[in-house]
Structure 1
Amino acid sequence: MSAVVTPDVTPEWHGDDVSIRDVLDALSQIRERFDRTEAGDDEHPHPRSCVMTLIGVVASASHEQLAVRTSRAISAQHPAQSIVIREDAPVRGGHLEAWIATEVQRPAEACATECEIITLHVRGAAADHLDALVDPLLVSGVPTYLWWMGTPPFDKRDLLEALRICDGLVVDSAQFERPYHTFRGLSALLNVAHHRLGLADLQWARLKPWRETIAQFFTPRDRRSFLGGIAEVGVDYEGDGRGNRIAAALITGWMATALGWNLKRAAAGPGGVVVAHYEAGGRSIEVAFRSVRKEHLAAGELSAVRIAGAARGTTFRLSVQHDPERMRSTPEPSYRSLHTTGGEDDAGIELAERRAEWHRDVLHENLDSLHHTATGDAPGESRPRASTVFRFDRRRQDSTTVLLTMIEVGEGAPLRHVQQLEGEDVPSLLLDLLSTGTHDEVYNRSLASAAELVEKF
């Protein structure tokens, strides 16, 4: 039996073995009570503010907790209504178990707003009666987004019926239980869903640093011609099996649609190696996919992207690596380091050296006062030691979340750039996708191209 989730906050209302009518009545009473309290005796009730309705469908206690926490994080920034539906829940009786929690936001220069989080536990699959469940609860005049955590049942017509009341569908293709088949079902929505429906994928949002880094290489005017000279692409990913190539297919589909590549053939070999051949303007582009073993990366996560070619007599090579390989470890120093590198790789060393340089600047700017505070001696009698960078093999958060970019153009010296990645928290990724209304034509084209490639794996 599934676990029962205890709400993080005390709900305004809880009903056991209730109907949607009971939930709607309780919701109306909560809104009326809030309006009267805020307006007081001398004012009319203020207009209710709501920018969207977010519906989260979950199948486990952990996903339910994540959906509720994400809804609360979004409500802290935007007045929104959230509905979390737990399917196949341990419901007593023949109806629903429901909770309504509220959070009041009081902006400095605006009226207070009440954000609602409605949690529904239902029997059976949510897709079987999703539209009947949520339609009476929706706020009219604002967009409705369906966030399906886990694996959506794209093979059920009931899901298509439910999507008619939604303006956008958000999924995470990295969490699909059967990623190969489910990803193909996701791409099929481009042809069968209503034209107003937007599609969004959290995995696509996680690929944003990769896409930006690759695009930035070709941004300078003198490198624009390189776009037409790409001859080979290599993509490394973690994990085995075709289901773990979804992110690799998406990044390849993005490049293919942007540059007008046409897929001709693809063949899978042993060890997770796949080679795809594209054509554009009479030339051939080879894309090689390779499975690598990096235990600290999630299955299907990108490890590296390499692009090489030549244009106008100049060769070029771009390499983007996520958490580059560590070198042989060295003994721990006998004294404590202020700026550990997290390994002997270039990325960790460069990040540590940046921090050490900043630390030295701060120390020198405040040399006299810091010395006097620490020792009690008169200012200027001695100087603090400069910060030191020690290199040793230890994984740290700041050096395992970096992209190391290596650039080679012609006979010039290689260029190196280290980018520290921001945390991939779900609320930030979700808000980034919702900010476009889930209508991203670049993603749609990349999804269609990736699905074509996946079918040939």
Structure 2
Amino acid sequence: MKIRMHDTATSQVAKRISAVREDSGVVALGRVLTLLIATDDAGIEQAVDAANAASLEHPCRVIVLALGDPEAPTRLDAEIRVGGDAGASEVVVLWCQGANARADESLVAALLLPDAPIVVWWPGTPPAVPSETPLGRLAHRRITDSSSCADAEKALWSLREGHRDGDTDMAWTRLTLWRIQVAGILDHLDLDRVRSVTVDGAPDSPSTMLLAAWLTRGLHLPVTITHSKAGHGIRAVRLRCPEGDVVLSRSQSQVARLYQHGRPVQRIALPRRTDQDCLAEELRRLDPDEVYGAVLAEGLPMADLAAVQASER
């Protein structure tokens, strides 16, 4: 069910949500958090689809701020979605113009679930310091997505400078399955025999850079990034050893292949992660992601990202 409200206020939206619950029997019991999404009009449906899917695991109230033209006349339109249009959540979409076209506490305070954690997600270009934004100051967890930026390396350095406990990034979350598989391979190798590492990925992929930084920090070995000519994201990790290279490679399929000297090729499930997968994973934890913070703080400066641009030229 969708209820559209024109030229309204958030206090009126909150009253309408309460009325809908009373009239239809929809209750807020079991809602475990408030998810705030700051986007634009074009990004609403994709963000809501991801939130609805994630809400099946984490019932929540989703508040989407579609920030419009700050120079336009001040106006607030809203849409309340419940039932089949909201997954296991309540969704409130706010179209904000004029003085309302800035995401701050006054805009959302009336809609926040009482005594529940708050998570903020910026699906588009992230703020320089997420924790210092009005929404970021409210949140227990702040999710950005550096893959939405035109310059992935610049975005990662910006996130590093502005990082605070509670910050995380979808580009890092997309690496979870890769890190699990690579860590499993390393557990069965004599690390003293590994001479160097190569990560192959798309030139605009911050996940490729974060994986290289994670490996550099963990192994204290030279890690080279090479750029794939086809596809997107990460394609392969190669560990160079005297007796033969160990390669975990994935093309366009959902299955990777593990090549090891003297052993049959192994097929390993390694699906590409959707925004729904990543968002659901991030909502499982509200504590600081210490590994991500360490990779930004220590691994990124150690990784030879300059070699990435040199290889492009």
Instruction: Specify if TM > 0.5.
Output: yes
Retained in 1: the 8 A contact 2:195–2:241? yes
Query: Could you say what secondary structure the match of 1:303 adopts?
Result: strand
Aligned-residue CA RMSD (Å): 3.1
1:20-44 deviations in whole A, cap 9, x for unaligned?
222222223223434xx47xxxxxx
Q: Which residue of 2 aligns with 1:287?
A: 223
Q: Does 1:253 align with 2:185?
A: no
Query: Could you say what secondary structure the match of 2:15 adopts?
Result: helix
Query: Which whole-Å CA distance do the structure 1 matches of 2:83 and 2:205 have between them?
Result: 41
Using a 3 Å threshold, how does the CA distance of structure 1 residues 141 and 100 change in structure 2: closer, same or farther? same
5 Å-filtered alignment, 1:16-95, equals: 16-34=6-24, 37=25, 48-61=29-42, 63-88=43-68, 93-95=73-75
Percent identity, aligned pairs only, is 23
Q: Which residue of 2 aligns with 1:308?
A: 240
Query: Which whole-Å CA distance do the structure 2 matches of 1:290 and 1:126 have between them?
Result: 45
Letter in 2 for 1:445: A
Using a 3 Å threshold, how does the CA distance of structure 1 residues 207 and 215 change in structure 2: closer, same or farther? same
Letter in 2 for 1:210: W
5 Å-filtered alignment, 1:274-353, equals: 285-294=221-230, 297-298=231-232, 301-309=233-241, 315-323=243-251
Retained in 2: the 8 A contact 1:199–1:438? no
Q: Does 1:214 align with 2:182?
A: yes
Which segments of 5 or more consecutive residues in structure 1 lack a partner in the other structure? 1-9, 39-45, 106-112, 262-284, 324-398
How far off its partner does 1:89 sit? 6.0
5 Å-filtered alignment, 1:133-212, equals: 133-154=107-128, 159-190=132-163, 193=164, 197-212=165-180
Which segments of 5 or more consecutive residues in structure 2 lack a partner in the other structure? 307-313
How far off its partner does 1:250 sit? 0.8
Retained in 2: the 8 A contact 1:91–1:97? no
5 Å-filtered alignment, 1:400-439, equals: 400-408=253-261, 413-437=262-286, 439=288
Retained in 2: the 8 A contact 1:104–1:115? no
How far off its partner does 1:245 sit? 5.4
Letter in 1 for 2:60: A
1:305-337 deviations in whole A, cap 9, x for unaligned?
111235xxxx452111121xxxxxxxxxxxxxx
Letter in 2 for 1:169: R
Retained in 1: the 8 A contact 2:39–2:122? yes
Moved beyond 4 Å, runs of 4+ = 89-93, 124-127, 453-456
TM (norm. structure 2) is 0.85
Retained in 2: the 8 A contact 1:87–1:124? no
Return the match for 1:116 from 68, 90, 98. 90
Using a 3 Å threshold, how does the CA distance of structure 1 residues 116 and 92 change in structure 2: closer, same or farther? farther
- The structure number with the bigger radius of gyration is 1
Query: Which whole-Å CA distance do the structure 2 matches of 1:70 and 1:405 have between them?
Result: 31
Query: Could you say what secondary structure the match of 1:98 adopts?
Result: strand
Using a 3 Å threshold, how does the CA distance of structure 1 residues 155 and 212 change in structure 2: closer, same or farther? closer
How far off its partner does 1:438 sit? 5.8
1:32-89 deviations in whole A, cap 9, x for unaligned?
434xx47xxxxxxx8832111111111242x211122223223334321111111126
Query: Which whole-Å CA distance do the structure 2 matches of 1:181 and 1:127 have between them?
Result: 27
